[in-house]
Amino acid sequence: MEKGNIRVQTENIFPIIKKFLYSEHDIFLRELVSNAVDATQKLKMLSSIGEAKGELGELRIDVKLDAEAKTLTISDKGVGMTAGEVDKYLNQVAFSGAEEFLQKYKGQAEGAIIGHFGLGFYSSFMVSDKVEVITRSFRQDQPAVKWECDGSPAFTLEETEKAERGTDIVLHINEESKAFLEADKIRQILEKFCRFLPVPIFFEEKQINNTSPAWTKKPSELTAEDYQHFYKELYPYNETPLFWIHLNVDYPFNLTGILYFPKIKQSYEIQKDKIQLYSNQVFVTEEVKDIVPEFLMLLQGVIDSPDIPLNVSRSYLQGDPNVKKINNHITKKVADKLEEIFRKDRKEFEEKWEHIGLFVKYGMMTDDKFFERANTFHLFEDVEGGKFYTLEEYRSATESLQKNKEGKLVILYTTNPVQQDAYIQQAKDKGYIVVKMETLIDAAFIGQIENKWENVHFTRVDADITDNLIDKQENEETVLNKSDMEALKKLFDIKIPEINMSVEVKGLSPEAPPVVATRPEFMRRMKDMAAAGGPMTAFYANMPDEVTLTVNGNHALFQQILAESDTGKKEKVVHNLADLALLSQGLLKGNSLTEFINRSVELMSGGKKTKIILEN
């Protein structure tokens, strides 16, 4: 029997490995199974070039749990190791067998070998009091050997009996890690980290992995049903995705994967399912913010690249030019796909715009290269639905009507077609085209996109009286004399909590509403962004609303009001008209709303006061 000390630079290497090398103890199983896959892949390659003789037999990896003996065993039927190789690879910390193998067989096995650090095996000591390695090399003239270590630098290495080629790693689980003696726990870890490894993995006599996931195949080998089936394998409870993008690059970096566009509600529900990052089919993380552009973080699917630089524990990305290149490539592929669908089947694109639009708008706001591409396929939807415009199509359709005094295109939009219906109808009567901007990010989108698009200005349809929306000021003369106008302004001088209200009397069309409430476009945008949790949220959220009441001096109702001799009734009718205008803007709330309802009932009942209590 040979005895010796593992050749490390410090006596404290194992405490470091146990406490600091890996952020999650679950990782040990990923590392050991990955090593078993490497051993199997090496054997396949050596057999293919004639260096490994004889039948390979069934190549599989078995994970066995013995709760009574407090052991967890990972067994493979791969290349195995000789005594010299055990001494070389296990007794010299961080000497990676995978790295040496790649150097020796450069150009033949890079894509199949997972390990690069040589420290993965030592993660077993995070959960073990003792680790045994029983191994027999594929070289038939070499005896089987057993290596044993209790987590100190001391080890033993001796010949032993083992009938079959391959390696068994036996972990004697320590007291602090007894959770790893539960079958459900082991199954959960295997399904998380090893579900797509290329060698069959069995636990409790059941195979837990798909060895040929869709992203490892060529797009020409897959049907739409194959892509949808794989999506269900990843996200079994999700709706069918809108479409997908198959990534398959081998230069200047290696990248494969499939990204799916899920159906996303306009309420922008936070996605629980994320893009999964793999390295040679080994699950690494769901934190892909440096690899995938920010605006595509709502996508789902898989990215697999051995060229993504990970730290030794594979838990964090390290800075590298390849990360930026991959990020740019994914942006380009997404833009290519969207442009292709828009060009080849615009009807399909429009039908999916409710979901696609969120990605497109977010991308245009955050990524300049994507913005340039997206200008050709970003769409506005007409308020009535079913008709869509690109920016240039909207410009052409409104060229003669919707330009302001500065010569800018005015895009009229609504954030709530139901609540703003009266304003929409007035705009349509003028021949204006109103589009829907009602998603959670539209307030921020409008603010940013105005700075990127030349000669374009957005105005919400209720931002001013219709005649002023396009800055034309085409107001008719009012039939009221100056004295009547001043009397009306005085009657409408009403104080509403948390609202700064100004009053103007103008000569609008007799068919226009008697009173219109509007809010300045800029302040209303800031309030909307504050409500959505945007920058300076508290500042704008706490500011009072600025409201202009435009009184239509040409409406016949005001002739009656001015002639009314009952001052109290006159004031109540005017107050109700103001409240109705505020209600159309969603600004009549709380006690003011209750007073409006009670006042309305009183007026309808001939002056009899009635108190109505509103219940939530």
**Lowest-pLDDT range, 147-156, 554-563, 574-583, 607-616?**
607-616
> H or E element: which one contains 148?
strand 145-149
Which pLDDT belongs to residue 529?
64
- Identify which has the larger pLDDT, 475 or 165: 165
Which pLDDT belongs to residue 600?
84
Top-confidence range, 182-191, 455-464, 550-559: 182-191
| Torsion sign over Cα 520, 523, 526, 531 | negative
pLDDT at 80 over 90: yes
Which pLDDT belongs to residue 611?
55
The span from the CA of 6 to the CA of 92, in Å, is: 6
Confidence of residue 289 (pLDDT cuts 50, 70, 90): confident
Which pLDDT belongs to residue 103?
57
Which class in CATH covers the domain with range 2-205?
alpha beta
CATH of 482-519+540-604, one of 1.20.120.790, 3.40.30.10, 3.40.1390.10, 3.40.50.720: 1.20.120.790
Which pLDDT belongs to residue 227?
97
* Residue range 214-342 in CATH 3.20.20.150: no
Which pLDDT belongs to residue 313?
46
Task: Give the helix ranges, DSSP H, for 492-616.
Answer: 521-531, 537-541, 557-563, 567-584, 590-604
Confidence of residue 179 (pLDDT cuts 50, 70, 90): very high
pLDDT at 16 over 70: no
- The CA-atom distances, in angstroms, between 463 and each of 382, 449, 516, 554 are 18, 19, 10, 21
Q: Which residues contact 141 (CB under 8 A, 6 or more apart)?
A: none
The span from the CA of 344 to the CA of 529, in Å, is: 36
Instruction: For residues 414-434, give the mean pLDDT.
Output: 90
**Lowest-pLDDT range, 197-206, 267-276, 439-448, 578-587?**
267-276
The span from the CA of 525 to the CA of 444, in Å, is: 8
- Number of C-beta neighbours around residue 542 at 10 A: 9
Query: Is 299 buried (19+), middle (13-18) or exposed (0-12) by CB count in 10 A?
Result: buried
- Indicate the domain borders of the chain: 2-205, 214-342, 379-474, 482-519+540-604
Which pLDDT belongs to residue 17?
56
pLDDT at 471 over 70: no
Which pLDDT belongs to residue 312?
44
Give the length of the chain.
Answer: 616
The span from the CA of 12 to the CA of 28, in Å, is: 19
The span from the CA of 123 to the CA of 194, in Å, is: 16
Answer yes or no: are the C-beta atoms of 125 and 151 closer than 8 Å. yes
Which pLDDT belongs to residue 390?
95
Which pLDDT belongs to residue 272?
52
Confidence of residue 9 (pLDDT cuts 50, 70, 90): very low
Q: Which two tokens stand for residue 448?
A: 């940013």
Q: Using the CB atoms, write b or e for 558-586: b if 16+ within 10 Å.
A: beebeeeeeeeebebbbbbbbbbbbbbbe
**Lowest-pLDDT range, 68-77, 160-169, 252-261, 465-474?**
465-474
Confidence of residue 467 (pLDDT cuts 50, 70, 90): confident
- Per-residue DSSP letters for 267-315? T-PPPSS-EEEEETTEEEES--TTTS-GGGTT-EEEEE-TTS-B-TTSS
Confidence of residue 152 (pLDDT cuts 50, 70, 90): confident
Percent of the chain clearing pLDDT 70 (strictly above): 83
Instruction: For residues 195-224, give the mean pLDDT.
Output: 95
- Number of C-beta neighbours around residue 255 at 10 A: 23
What is the average pLDDT value for the chain, to the nearest integer?
83
| Amino acid, res. 32 | L
Confidence of residue 506 (pLDDT cuts 50, 70, 90): confident
| Amino acid, res. 585 | Q
- Per-residue DSSP letters for 451-468? HHSTTEEEEETTSS-GGG
Answer yes or no: are the C-beta atoms of 113 and 101 closer than 8 Å. yes
Which pLDDT belongs to residue 273?
57
Which class in CATH covers the domain with range 379-474?
alpha beta
Which pLDDT belongs to residue 114?
40
Which pLDDT belongs to residue 435?
96
Beta-ladder partners of 583: none
The span from the CA of 113 to the CA of 257, in Å, is: 18
Answer yes or no: are the C-beta atoms of 382 and 388 closer than 8 Å. yes
Answer yes or no: are the C-beta atoms of 152 and 131 closer than 8 Å. no
Q: Which residues contact 292 (CB under 8 A, 6 or more apart)?
A: 275, 299, 303, 327, 330
pLDDT at 117 over 60: no
Model pLDDT for residues 301-312, shown as the tens digit of each residue: 999 988 776 544
Q: Which residues contact 533 (CB under 8 A, 6 or more apart)?
A: none
Which pLDDT belongs to residue 397?
93
Report the chain's C-alpha Rg in angstroms.
Answer: 35
